[in-house]
Structure 1
């Protein structure tokens, strides 16, 4: 691609760095080549329809609620102009035609301003390096970055750099490289092993088994549900499979993945349109996957020069179908000269039009596949350390929840924060368990955590809460920090005090935490006041007495825990309904954050209501919104008019519910989707109403008097029909039995008992 004499343009040079080291690389390049010869690239941010409405409304003095209502009607799509939306969205048309003069004026001005430049920014990764001072070639500016540092930027956007004769590079900060670095450091700390990630074997069986099982949650580029499904079909066993799958899993070529899998496993014959295509397409079983293959085929079949084939690659890579006809003419003529039959020429070109326009750059795919392999290798061989590193670089509560659930699925225990074991970030203890970082607790700053770590490192673990306040620097670990640590359960390992006691107040209104801090300050002050003769009055300072009040309810404890950690950690309010949510729901809530591909889909979802808000629309119709939370995350749902009236009695915080519904076009904006609720059930009633029968598959070898006795004690009488499938692993025979008289109820005790046995399977209906 790069080393050919016909090439007239500079290549795109993209380099991925550790996210935390990117600034150091830019600093190095600036020092090496000269600060006036290295610059970042400006970006011009245009005004979208929503932003135009909000900005104009603010200038014209339109009330904020009204401006907010207008903006929410607008679709965020740069290709769907506001003028067109007024014609097609009834709610927006009504506001424009029947609203106040100020509303109409706001929309009119917004239409004129839409698409105009609102402000400038700095390109996320683009860097320009020149042989001389860049001011000699293009206009420059100095701007202040988010850290308050002055940086040199161009006043032209990136697309003009090549035309100005300058070399543009992309210095990307990639989080996954930081994750790998952090995992390697955790491995060194916990196992005293040094992993040379650049020299790991590329034929590791354990790593390919992980890919083949689709256990790739948290693996770079390979963690989506669709990708995991295809990995289980492909069962990759070599590095080339990963390169191909990374290139194929994109719009367009994705439809060829089943064919690729079938050809790899011999279920479909590999076919080449022409014999001379075999040497180029052999590695991908006769399917054109990479841009480089298109280039080579153009040279082989049509006699393209390296420069001409690179031009074809650019048309493909930049998605410029309008330039294809001219290239097609040259391709067809070249193939004819080489004696290729007309029907073959047309078929090959037709395949390219359907697929090769989406062909991916093999060199990019190889780099991505290598990074994916490295992350998978770490997950396969050092699971706890890798999952802890993933958690350290998770950007959202939903991601933390997702990866903590994955760690638990892998058999890795995740413990809450603990002042005697936690560091600032997630770590792995000597038992191979992940320990929550103190820095993840809201209200506990890095300075406080470093003080706790330093004292613990110097003088050993804290014996109790009194030892803690006697030793740590209380100017760094203050009342706010202490309260957050207590609510998060970070003091739970210290004996004698329950979480609720730290917040109990005496008759003067002082909490136990305030008494502890006063006691700690007195002790530390007295330690610094030892006399010349070594006298001390420490023994005279009385420890405060913890109030003996009642414990918090489990719900209150979890609510306070979530308040400072962001997730339920020690337990989850939905734990008793885990079976119902797994068995009856069609989707996890996080899977419904994007409804674009689910129109007309029947759904069943469940969880706990965490927030509720009600009100009246402008037309005086009732509405309500609520936030539903399950083990994966949260989803906001709205109800209007009759639906709100029908279901409002269920909308109570902490209610655990199951929803049956359908994804339908939004009433006032048919281009978008929403969830239409058809029925709501309380989760504690859902199993009785929705589960008609259960069938339990049990190996004969585990059935004895103890198993039967415990099962009978857990199987409460109910309305659900009961069946058994008992199989003999030795004789390879099975017997199915159904109880005519005994009907049961699904209880947490029954589910917990059956889940103790790995070989027991439970199916419903």
Structure 2
């Protein structure tokens, strides 16, 4: 009886979650009703999927509105009608300005319902009706319109479940309109009566119009939509060549051609593995998935784009031979069944990483090449803290109160009525969808048009994007291609290019010669000593400490370390056991003999997803199908706990029958559970390790060029100043931006690094590009006058350049230059459009003698770069005498020491009690790293206070040769007063 219902996917309007709407409908005695979200089909697929659980026949459509003004409702008679609605809605959403016409185009398989208040001046078509709201019933008696009763239907809108839902709706509308709740116009909100009544109650309202009731029933009875959620046959593009047999012959041919490229020696093991994989891939009908990926990457290679194929796809020799991945599964004995097995219903998952500079072109290529393509969306939801801020503004609370509430600095019992409302409703709307975004890299390539399943919108990125997320897509058998962006690849590619221009005498670098890199002594040294700042995946403080503990210097060790660092292994408590067994071979006998036999390479410790599957299968007796449930559970895609619970009882029962003790079984299961959502496939770790080796090679042989590339690709784990510090260690001379030497990005000339204009805060991009273009076309700038003549620029912008010493080449004091620029820029700006045949004579200003200091330079650098180019220890008020350095700490294990460090970064984590603790990283005066641990009581008492030099006091601890300080107190040292505003201090320091 309901033709117009809304869920919370009627953004910032509806307040009922889809499953709650179905539960409510069942409770009210409904057997069928229509979901018609406002200008959205996001919830339709999930609504259809869940409806059988509530014994409801689902009807889907869209409530088309301009703002909150309802124009008409479209209901799909069937799947063809749903596609027509999606196509129409997509057309509107792809326009620059969304505007619904007063009438839709003709759609034969769609019912159209106009609000009764908007009477038609023309006769209604067979599929068109007028929807009569309860408020319209009095008007119906006296309406001059003589519409036949067979054209009238019930239009009871449902947007809220109860009074609280209506109140929430009003708050959402106020947020949407950016207004106070007290000033929200009635025209911008629904009616409080827009709730679901029982069938009897609704029929009672319309009892005087039985034909209207019958018309409504007939419309709902004629609607039937179906999607197959049980048979998980992929709905992706089925063939690459339009012929399945031809597809397989092509894949087989490409794989055998790839043998020559990948292997110098061929043996039975390789051929057997290849034939086995080909057979399973064909049997599972995944051939087109491989070929589509091959086509995409063939294009990438033709353009010279770097990429990394990672994920469990690296377990496949076919993927290796088709150059989708660069990891040899034979060398690493990778478990193919982790990637594809006969129990797997969804296609394999290739994650393809490209440089952030190249990915958009790859996406363009995919959209040009494949017919039914769309990006996948994600829904950005209301978060509690953000909701507190939004609702605080809606209720008109002062900023100070909003800040206090959002930071949790309150006791609920001490809050006033409005503040309590803010907290209560913020909790209620937490998790509600707020607006549509774009998935990090998911792309659908469908056999049927995308509009068969959903409408699409057109975000600024410029590609058609679905209105549902990847979980809904997978529910109907649409599996994504992951085309991801990664700055690490941009660093590698750019570093090679920088070496080419800065060291032209060097032969071309083959960055893909991974086999040579694995044997390189310099790379082994960097790994073993954790000197990998800037290198992909191995530069973080946690990874640096793990490398020190493991003393890894080989590829297989790094592959394991890449997975050991993941939360699953750490959470299970097995990281420490792995390190012990790695460092001390005699400890390997501590492993359970069955586990050691299953996982000899990792000494009986579960490190990879494959290990979990092997343990579940060989130790716990689970079938490969049940083990595949564990694989899905470890994927981290929302439903992991459910997947684990399905096989938990079977695991315990099998272990009992095998004679394993309950204590041992419980411990093994605890370790398995800890992997949920976190574990890496071994092939994934191996793919990461390949990229790590490429970056380690560049760091080992071309550190300056690599650091410049790191800075130009916006760093990695750390800030720009740390990478500049690393460059200095390797002999670089760092220069502030210079109008004659710098480009928009940072560049290197020999061992001299000139920071790019891009790093200057508040400096306009257009000005940076003008400076570089004018210089390249007409030569270097000779002085300030020459620069002002050639580059139109405001006094505020040239002041930034002068203060940062971009005119240092003139040899003039920057205060004098500033004085002169202020005198000349205004005159130039007035005469900018006056052209003369001869160059006019310059007015010569006599500038006063002014001075500046290196400290003033440092504070200008802090203001415009965010960090000083000098030693930060020079900028503290009280100079530090001789003190302990990082290299000295190993002599003070278990002793309390005091030392000084420049703050680099800190990572916070939760203890088992939920308290916050921190791991800090500092630099000493020599530029060496000091690692610190801050337990909750100390962290609360001595918080981090941003960049600067800290006095660190604590006990020196050692674990597996890794030194850290367990902090007992910490104090940030005062920085000297800004000398730009303290002339007396400048004079004192200069003397």
Would you call these one fold, judging by a TM-score over 0.5?
Answer: yes
1:92 match: 411
SS at match of 2:485: strand
Give the TM-score normalised by the residue count of structure 2.
0.53
- Retained in 1: the 8 A contact 2:742–2:756? yes
- Of stretches 598-607 and 270-279 in structure 1, the one that deviates more from structure 2 is 598-607
Residue in structure 1 matching 2:361, options 24, 31, 34 = 24
Task: Tell me whether 1:437 sits opposite 2:748 in the alignment.
Answer: no
* TM-score normalised according to structure 1 size: 0.67
8 Å contact 2:901–2:952 — kept in the other structure?
A: no
Using the TM superposition, give the Cα deviation of residue 380 of structure 1 relative to its aligned residue in structure 2, in angstroms.
Answer: 1.0
For residues 646-688 of structure 1, give each alpha carbon's deviation from its aligned partner in whole angstroms, at most 9, with x where no partner exists. Answer: xxxxx9x9999869899xxxxxxxxxxxx9999887689xxxx
Q: How many residues align?
A: 586
Equivalent residue in structure 1 for 2:563, among 244, 247, 254? 247
Counterparts in 2 of 1:173-572, with a 5 A limit? 173-192=485-504, 193=506, 194-200=508-514, 201=516, 202-254=518-570, 255-271=573-589, 280-301=598-619, 304-318=622-636, 320-321=640-641, 323-324=643-644, 327-331=647-651, 341-343=659-661, 347=664, 350-354=667-671, 357-358=674-675, 359-394=679-714, 399-430=719-750, 432-458=751-777, 460-469=779-788, 473-475=790-792, 477-495=793-811, 497-504=812-819, 511-512=822-823, 514=825, 529=837, 538=839, 541-542=841-842, 544-545=844-845, 547-570=847-870, 572=872
Q: Tell me the equivalent position of 2:468.
A: 156
CA spacing shift, 1:273–1:553, aligned 2, 3 Å: closer
- How far apart, in 2, do the equivalents of 1:48 and 1:185 lie? 43
Question: Relative to structure 1, is the Cα distance of residues 520 and 351 closer, same or farther in structure 2, using a 3 angstrom cutoff?
Answer: farther
Match for residue 393 of structure 2 among 58, 73, 87: 58
More displaced stretch, 265-274 vs 541-550: 265-274
Q: 1:62 to 1:304 in 2, by over 3 A?
A: closer
Sort the Cα spacing of 1:112 and 1:373 in 2 relative to 1 into closer, same or farther, 3 A: same
Name the structure with the higher strand share.
1
Instruction: Write the deviation string for residues 598-639 of structure 1: whole angstroms up to 9, x where unpaired.
Output: 9699999999xxxxxxxxxxxxxxxxxxxxxxx99xxxxxxx
C-alpha deviations, 1:488-507, integer Å up to 9, x for none?
Answer: 11110223x111111226xx
Q: Is the 8 A contact 2:903 2:947 kept in 1?
A: no
- Partner in structure 1 of residue 250 of structure 2: none
Distance 1:65 1:606, change over 3 A: farther
3-state SS of 1:6 partner: coil
Task: Within 5 Å, give how 1:94-173 maps onto structure 2.
Answer: 94-96=413-415, 99=416, 101-136=417-452, 138-145=453-460, 149=462, 151-173=463-485
* Residues 482-533 of structure 1: per-residue CA shift (max 9 Å, x gap): 22211111110223x111111226xxxx7255389589979x955xx2xxxx
What are the superposed Cα offsets for residues 450-478 of structure 1, whole Å, 9 maximum, x if unpaired? 443344445554444344445xx323x45
- In 1, Cα distance between equivalents of 2:647 and 2:874: 60
SS in 2 for 1:52: helix
CA-CA distance at 1:566 after TM superposition: 2.4
The Cα shift of 1:93 comes to 1.7
Contact between 2:900 and 2:952, CA under 8 Å: does it hold in 1?
A: no
Contact 1:502–1:512, Cα closer than 8 Å, also in 2? no
Q: Which position in structure 2 is the counterpart of 1:15?
A: 352
Whole-Å separation in 1 of the counterparts to 2:698 and 2:483:
25
* Alpha-carbon distance between aligned partners in 1 of 2:362 and 2:681, rounded to the nearest angstrom: 26
Alignment match, 1:71: 406
Structure 1 residue 582, shift from structure 2 partner: 7.2
SS at match of 2:480: strand
Matched residue SS, 1:268: helix
Shift of 1:547: 1.1
Deviations 1:121-171 (A, max 9, x none): 2222222220121111x12131332x5x4x322222211111212122222
Q: CA deviation at 1:239?
A: 0.7
Is the 1:605–1:658 Cα contact (8 Å) retained in structure 2? no
RMSD (Å), alpha carbons: 4.3
Kept in 1, the 8 Å contact 2:903–2:921? The answer is no
Judge conservation of contact 2:355–2:486 (CA < 8 Å) in 1. Answer: yes
Offset of 1:352 from its aligned partner? 4.6
Q: 1:179 to 1:656 in 2, by over 3 A?
A: closer
Shift of 1:543: 5.9
Shift of 1:552: 2.5
| Distance in 2 of aligned mates of 1:3 and 1:368 | 21
Please give the alpha-carbon distance, in whole angstroms, between the structure 2 residues aligned to 1:587 and 1:421.
33
Per-residue deviation, 1:247: 0.2
- How far apart in 1 are the matches of 2:389 and 2:355? 38
- The answer to whether the 8 Å contact 1:661/1:676 transfers is yes
Q: Is the contact made by 1:469 and 1:520 (CA closer than 8 Å) also made in structure 2?
A: no
Task: Tell me if the contact between 1:486 and 1:502 (Cα under 8 Å) persists in the aligned partners.
Answer: yes
Q: How far apart in 2 are the matches of 1:315 and 1:127?
A: 23
**Secondary structure at the counterpart of residue 448 of structure 2:** coil
